[in-house]
């Protein structure tokens, strides 16, 4: 298994990024002056220094967002004018792709080439949201009788708290923020304390684009200190969260107690179903890509494959051989495909899942151990065969570069195995028989089912899951509508008959 290094990464890393929060239109430090450093998980050096905010900072951010919504111009601004600012933000991101990609690479450990693709892809999300800002509309009903006209308005829901994870910091924020802004909402954002960089850079871009003060506020710090107040706050109208199912449940409970609107994008245990008549090379490549992209730290990771018994051994061998060739190493190296793991805690959890599978009788057919390196936290790309449906590795999210291989005999069995988990985020079906693909796609309980491809995506297509994978959808034509409330206005024309007088 290849492990690639860079001769002198210090010249590329440079000085740590000094980020500042955005509150009420100003870049600022924490009220108490506290800061926190971020060590690169690949290089063991400080790459970012950020405000370590407290409850007072969160309160200021919420107050600013509330005032901007209740007293400012953003909610009543025309769709055209909001769209123009969103397009300026897209231009600002495009101009800083390299800078943002580097800090994302350094903070997450993902390969620089993948970080570059993530940041540049965000440009399209902001452009798509700008288009929806101009097309958001209500309804009218002229079929209610001669004396009645019905009008249904869509109004922005209000102040939205957005809590984002560490695995795709700027991408996941861009699945939320531009659509909320397009609807006329204001926002308070809390990024993961592990990956503040690109979110704070976005704050600088928002200011440069002319966004009115208080419309977007960004606070950095620990979840219990800064994030929790943003969930139950009486001045917050909606909570949008992406992260673990465990934390999602807690957020849903607290937001539900206050009757707040919630959007939750949570975990996944996503199967790729491989039939004997698949496009062999494409399927093998998609399996390796699906599980090792972003080091498997991805809710959409193809972390389990269900392979027909007639080809199970041969297909597994092909995947193992392909996986052996995946370059692991310093994420700054241009050829690296699997970089560092985000933290020691995450690495320990992944290794514990592998050890449990081994104890349960599965076979570690590739990898399974920490990758030796002079610095940083790396795990060997791992493939586990002989996995049975009852094993934890077949049912629970690992969030690392670990593939579980299961087998099936019939289409119905494959569908049952695919659905035999609490998650329902995504799945894939590989067969040249379109009837097989469509039957599987209809019966698999997942928000997205790919047919003869994997991990493709477009802003036009909704994203979200069933069951423990979350509530609601992001992206798609309805993405802006999710940040609105409907209001019915019923107009009466002409004389109205008094109800108690005789006709």
Rounded Cα distance between 169 and 331, Å, is 17
Phi-psi region of 472 (alpha: psi -120 to 50; beta: other; left: phi over 0): left
Supply the residues annotated as catalytic.
265, 299
Q: Nearest to residue 282, comparing CAs of 293, 292, 290? A: 290
Torsion sign, CA atoms 363, 366, 372, 376: negative
Please state, in angstroms and as integers, the Cα–Cα distance from residue 48 to each residue in 96, 103, 198, 329, following that order. 17, 8, 11, 21
Encoding tokens for residue 441?
């796609």
Contacts of 190 (CB under 8 A, 6+ apart): 58, 161, 162, 163, 164, 218, 219, 220, 221, 223, 226, 227, 230
**Residues 47, 13: contact at Cβ < 8 Å?**
yes
Query: What end-to-end distance do the CA atoms of the chain give, in Å?
Result: 90
**Residues 31, 60: contact at Cβ < 8 Å?**
yes
**Residues 283, 289: contact at Cβ < 8 Å?**
no
Encoding tokens for residue 23?
């509150």
Rounded Cα distance between 190 and 247, Å, is 14
Q: Nearest to residue 357, comparing CAs of 326, 322, 383? A: 383
Phi, psi at 48, each rounded to 5°: -150, 145
Kindly write down the DSSP assignment for every residue of 228-282, as one continuous string.
HHHHH-TT--EEEEES-HHHHHHHHHHHHHTT-EEEEE-----EEEE-TTS-HHH
Q: Produce one character per residue of 43-64: b if its CB has 16 or more CB atoms within 10 Å, e if not.
A: beeebbbbbbbbeebbbbbbbb
Rounded Cα distance between 295 and 310, Å, is 30
């Amino acid at each position: 298994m290849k492990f690639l290094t860079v001769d002198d990464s210090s010249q590329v890393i440079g000085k740590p990024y000094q980020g500042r929060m955005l509150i009420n239109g100003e870049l600022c430090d924490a009220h108490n002056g506290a800061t926190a450093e971020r060590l690169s998980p690949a290089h063991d050096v400080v790459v970012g220094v950020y405000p370590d905010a407290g409850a007072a900072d969160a309160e200021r951010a919420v107050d600013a967002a509330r005032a901007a919504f209740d007293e400012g111009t953003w909610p009543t601004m025309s769709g055209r004018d909001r769209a123009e600012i969103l397009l300026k933000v897209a231009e600002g991101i495009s101009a800083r792709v390299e800078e943002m990609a580097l800090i994302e690479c350094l903070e997450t450990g993902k390969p620089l080439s993948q970080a570059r693709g993530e940041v540049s892809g965000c440009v399209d999300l902001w452009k798509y949201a700008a288009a929806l800002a101009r097309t958001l509309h209500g309804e009218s009903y002229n079929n209610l009788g001669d004396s009645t006209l019905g009008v249904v308005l869509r109004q922005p829901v209000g102040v939205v708290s957005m809590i984002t994870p560490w695995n795709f910091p700027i991408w996941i924020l861009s699945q939320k923020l531009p659509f909320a802004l397009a609807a006329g909402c204001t926002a308070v954002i809390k990024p993961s304390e592990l990956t503040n960089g690109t979110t704070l850079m976005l704050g600088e871009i928002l200011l440069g684009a002319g966004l009115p003060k208080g419309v977007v506020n960004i606070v950095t710090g620990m979840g219990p200190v800064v994030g929790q107040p943003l969930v139950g706050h009486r001045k917050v109208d909606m909570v949008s969260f992406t992260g673990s199912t465990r934390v999602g449940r807690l957020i849903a409970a607290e937001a539900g107690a206050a009757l707040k609107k919630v959007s939750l994008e949570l975990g996944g245990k996503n199967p790729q179903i491989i039939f004997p008549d698949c496009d062999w090379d494409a399927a093998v490549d998609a399996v390796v890509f699906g599980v090792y992209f972003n080091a498997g730290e991805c809710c959409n990771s193809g972390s389990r494959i269900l392979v027909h018994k007639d080809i199970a051994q041969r297909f597994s061998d092909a995947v193992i051989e392909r996986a052996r060739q995946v370059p692991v190493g310093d994420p700054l190296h241009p050829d690296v495909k699997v970089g560092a793991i985000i933290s020691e805690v995450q690495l320990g959890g992944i290794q514990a899942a592998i050890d449990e599978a081994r104890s349960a009788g599965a076979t570690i057919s590739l990898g399974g151990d920490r990758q030796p390196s002079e610095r940083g936290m790396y795990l060997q790309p791992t493939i586990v065969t002989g996995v049975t449906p009852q094993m934890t590795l077949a049912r629970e999210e690992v969030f690392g570069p670990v593939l579980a291989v299961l087998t099936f005999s019939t289409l119905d069995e494959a569908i049952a195995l695919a659905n035999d988990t609490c998650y329902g985020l995504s799945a894939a079906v590989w067969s040249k028989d379109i009837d097989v693909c469509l039957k599987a796609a209809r019966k698999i309980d997942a928000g997205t089912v790919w047919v003869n491809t994997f991990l493709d995506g477009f802003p036009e297509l909704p994203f979200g899951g069933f069951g423990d994978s979350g509530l609601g959808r992001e992206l798609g034509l309805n993405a802006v509508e999710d940040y609105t409330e409907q209001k019915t206005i019923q107009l009466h024309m002409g004389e109205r008959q008094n109800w108690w007088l005789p006709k």
